[in-house]
Amino acid sequence: MQSYNYARRNGTEEITWKRFAELSAQLVEALAQEKVQVVIGIARAGLFPATAAACALRCEMYPVRVTRRIDDRVAFDHPIWRVDVPSSDVRGKVVAVVDEIADSGETLALVSLRAQERGAQRVVTASLVSHSWASPMPDVTALVSDALVVFPWDKSVYIEGRWQPHPEIIAAIQSQQEAKE
């Protein structure tokens, strides 16, 4: 199974924890204007901005798991459901579906549709970062960047007893360099 097409990215943009907090605040302000009542966070990494939003908006947050990965390795061409949207908790509510990044837009669209099917009054899709080619684009995004975005939780991983750069990020940067040659 191929990973994401990282050669398509233009450079690298590292998001620090401080920048994450700033982007999360922008997301919260936009979601507040939408009068969001419930946040659905897409696990795994979408739970970071979803939790920040739910805490700041003082509303409930429910995790869902829709992923292309197993054990942090890309295993599927399209996202598959692992943990579904809780219907009784979204029915009749304004719901924000939040992920850390909108690459293709497919994951946000899937979860948004499911929330609508489960009776949400209105669904707002949101991502901390979005690529310009995401289709559909999130309704709310704090940053649009076509760079390879490195989040603070992905920068290093613990492998064989030591911290080291995430292998997928190393491969992504290599892919970008090969595409330039």
* Domain assignment of residue 86, yes or no: yes
> 3-class SS at 77?
coil
* Domain assignment of residue 60, yes or no: yes
Residue 93 lies in domain: 15-147
Total number of domains in the chain: 1
Q: Look up the CATH number of the domain holding residue 32.
A: 3.40.50.2020
* Domain assignment of residue 81, yes or no: yes
Query: Are 86 and 117 contacting, i.e. CB atoms less than 8 angstroms apart?
Result: no
Structure tokens at 64: 């869902």
* Domain assignment of residue 158, yes or no: no
* Domain assignment of residue 174, yes or no: no
pLDDT of res. 4: 66
* Domain assignment of residue 123, yes or no: yes
* Domain assignment of residue 49, yes or no: yes
46 burial via Cβ count (<10 Å: 0-12, 13-18, 19+): buried
Query: Model pTM?
Result: 0.92
Whole-number Å distance between alpha carbons of 108 and 162:
34
* Domain assignment of residue 75, yes or no: yes
Proportion of the chain in helix, strand, coil states, percent, rounded to 5? 35, 35, 35
Q: Which of 2, 58, 1, 56 is nearest to 24 (CA)?
A: 56
Averages of pLDDT over each 10 residues, the chain, 181 residues? 66 95 98 98 96 98 92 85 88 97 93 96 98 95 95 95 94 85 76
Mention every residue, 6+ apart, whose C-beta is less than 8 A from residue 28: 52, 53, 56, 57
